[in-house]
Amino acid sequence: MTTSTPQPTQSTPTGSKSKFDQWRYRLTRSWEHRFSPVRPRVIAGLGAYSLWGLLLARSMFGGEMSRAILLMLPVVLLVAHLFPQAALLASIPAAAFGNVLMVPWLSLNAYALVVAVAGLGVVTRRWKLIMPFHGVVILLATTVVVSAFTNDAIVGGLSVRPSALYTAMGLSMMIAASLIRPRIDQVLLAIACTGALVGVTVLAGWFRQGDTPAEGQIQRVYALGLNPNYLGLLVAFGSIAGVAVGLERRQGRFVLLALPCLLAMPSLKSRTALLLVGVGFLWMLLRHSQRRLRDVIAVGLVFALVSIMYASLGTLVYRAVLGRRATVSLSSTDQFRRDVARFAFEQGLRHPVAGVGFGQFSELAGTRFAIAYPSAHNDFLRYFAELGGFGLGLLLTLIVLIARAARSAGAPRVATPMLAIMIVPMLLAETLSSLPTLMGPVILAGAVVGAARRKHGPGTNAIGSRPPSWNE
């Protein structure tokens, strides 16, 4: 009987190979799939980012930190490339806790790495730019940086240039999120977990603080290097995201993430956070209620907001929730905020094209009102005063593009309210001036834009198409 000569087996994942060999084959193929597109460019990208570390980090943080940054680059850049979604989502809690670690350069380094990975993906044609969305974001970030470096202001003994870089980095993270396209539910969970951790930190600070008053006669908690208003926004975002995920998944354990956020709010006494939570919860109730009840809920929402903000019922709410901030201090604060807002609008009218310069408004308002670092408490007015009509127009255009992407993509119903209620703190606070409060919303906005691109592709009309599931 003739026997055939055995042929060498091919390296395939199937056949007579052992499970270990199959696993090793899959791992090798996965590694090559992830790493090979960036291999021709990794040296150039690493060199460009090293130049950033040498020039920028050395001037801002000193030689020792610059060397530490450069030593971290090879490992962190590789990990960020292999797991871009994990690196992107990890930047949300890193933004909130970067100050408490006393190494803000580490947070900035992490954001730059994610953006570098996204940039390498574009260069190697792994991802494609989304126009005009990316063009508007890049133009707005460039306007902020150029304005700050051209009209450098000294506020409280510090240059505003790092603030401009943080703002530009936040906008860059929006681009990175739209390219990397993380799942919506993962972004919401990252926001909820960050809010819960911040809430626990605030509660711990409240217990340590005891009855010691802060801010004059007003007892408010300061933590993580942030003031109570920014902390209030973080816990408000976290509570809304936790409840949204719990309602969509119909699993109560996710709602528990909102518990420390809500418990921390009375110690912060932030009206903007209180209003944000009220609007967010009522919006979610409206989205999940029966159609016949929506009109009644909408009327109740309008009545509640008007009552809380202007009617006598607002005084009772302030006294019950905000404590001593409900009396004279709130009246004087409201009057002062109106005066500063009017001054910001006047500066925008006087400098309608380019504004007074990024970061210059606080210096001008401080001279006018004889108080250190006054705030416009309105992102739109601040951009109008500092960047003129051009900067404000870019900001409004960006908001319109995000809204169109959310609507055309049939975005998950938990993402749309989260993006819509961001208008509330932008009208009542300076949300865009703080990287911790900016990071979660911009990544969520980028993820929604990326979802629209993924579902419908370039050059297709998304209107009327099948909406994606909520966890895409």
The pLDDT of residue 375 is: 72
Say if residue 185 is in the same domain as residue 318.
Answer: yes
The confidence score (pLDDT) of residue 322 equals 52
316 shares a domain with 214: yes
pLDDT digits (tens, 9 = 90+) for 382-425: 888 888 888 889 999 998 888 888 876 555 566 777 777 777 77
Q: Please give the Cα distance from 11 to 270 (Å, whole number).
A: 63
Token look-up 């990024």 returns 358
Task: Give the model confidence (pLDDT) of 436-452 as tens digits.
Answer: 888 888 888 888 888 87
Name the token pair of 130.
């989304």
Judge whether 354 and 385 are in contact, CB under 8 Å. no
Residues 297 and 194 in one domain: yes
Which of 39, 171, 160 is closest to 115 using CA atoms?
Answer: 171
Distance CA 472, CA 469 (A): 6
* Beta carbons within 8 Å of 125's beta carbon, 6+ residues apart: 37
The answer to whether residue 194 sits within a structural domain is yes
Q: How far is CA 394 from CA 144, 244, 387, 391, in A?
A: 11, 30, 10, 5
Q: Report helix angle 228-249 to 435-456, nearest 10.
A: 30
Domain shared by 294 and 190, yes or no: yes
φ and ψ of 223, to 5 deg: -155, 160
In a domain, residue 83? The reply is yes
Do 194 and 440 form a contact (C-beta atoms < 8 A)?
yes
Q: Which residues in 10-30 are b (16+ Cβ under 10 Å) and which e? A: eeeeeeebeeeeeeeeeeeee
d(CA 328, CA 155): 28
Please name the amino acid found at residue 144: V
Reply yes or no: is the peptide bond before residue 374 cis, omega within 30 of 0.
no
Alpha-carbon span 88 to 175, nearest angstrom: 11
Q: Kind and range of the H or E element at 155?
A: strand 154-155
Instruction: Please identify, among 322, 354, 370, the residue that sits at the C-terminal boundary of a domain.
Output: 322
Confidence at residue 312, expressed as pLDDT on a 0 to 100 scale: 43
Give residue-wise pLDDT tens across range 21-74: 666 556 555 544 544 544 444 544 555 555 555 555 444 444 455 555 555 555
In a domain, 49, yes or no: yes
Please, is 49 exposed, middle or buried when counting C-beta atoms within 10 Å of its C-beta (0-12, 13-18, 19+)?
Answer: buried
Pairing of strands 158-159, 154-155: antiparallel
Instruction: Give the span between the Cα atoms of 121 and 123, in whole angstroms.
Output: 6
**Same-domain check for residues 185 and 124:** no
Say whether both 231 and 302 belong to one domain. yes
Sorted by sequence, the CB contacts under 8 Å of residue 415 that are 6+ apart come out as 184, 188, 406, 444, 447, 448, 470
pLDDT for 212: 47
What is the spatial distance between Cα 450 and Cα 442, in angstroms, rounded to a whole number? 12
Rounded to the nearest 5 degrees, what angle is found at the Cα of 394, between the Cα atoms of 393 and 400? Answer: 90
211 lies in the same domain as 82: no
Residues in the chain: 472
For residues 208 and 292, membership in a common domain is answered with yes
H helix or E strand, kind and range, residue 7: none
317 and 227 within one domain = yes
| Integer Cα distance of 461 and 452 in angstroms | 10
Computed from CA positions of residues 365, 366, 367, 371, in that sequence, does the dihedral angle turn out positive or negative?
positive
Number of structural domains found in the chain: 2
DSSP SS3 for 159:
strand
Cβ–Cβ under 8 Å, residues 285 and 294: no
Residues 238 and 300 grouped into a single domain: yes
Q: Which of 291, 322, 353 is the last residue of a domain?
A: 322
Residue 460's pLDDT is: 41
Residue 151 lies in a domain: no
Does residue 211 sit within a domain? yes
Please indicate, yes or no, if residue 373 is contained in any of the structural domains.
Answer: no
**Looking at the DSSP assignment, which residues form a beta bridge with residue 223?**
226
Question: In whole angstroms, how far apart are CA 228 and each of 65, 271, 366?
Answer: 30, 10, 21
Q: Is residue 117 part of a domain?
A: yes
The per-residue pLDDT string of the chain (472 residues; one tens digit each, 9 = 90 and over) reads 445 455 444 444 444 556 666 665 565 555 445 445 444 445 445 555 555 555 554 444 444 555 555 555 555 566 666 677 777 777 788 777 765 544 445 455 556 666 666 776 776 666 777 888 888 988 988 888 888 877 765 544 445 566 777 788 788 888 888 888 888 888 888 888 888 888 888 888 877 765 444 444 456 777 777 778 888 888 988 888 888 888 777 777 778 888 888 888 887 877 788 888 888 877 777 766 655 555 555 556 655 555 555 444 444 455 445 555 544 455 456 677 777 778 888 888 888 887 888 877 777 776 776 665 667 778 888 888 888 888 889 999 998 888 888 876 555 566 777 777 777 777 777 777 777 888 888 888 888 888 877 655 544 433 333 344 444 4
pLDDT number for residue 313: 44
Looking at the fold, whether 186 and 121 belong to one and the same domain comes out as no
Domain span holding position 50 = 36-128
Does the residue 333 lie in any domain? no
Single out the residue in 322, 346, 378 at which a domain terminates.
322
**What confidence score (pLDDT) does residue 12 get?**
45
118 and 195 fall within a common domain: no
| Confidence (pLDDT) at 465 | 37
What pLDDT was estimated at residue 358?
82
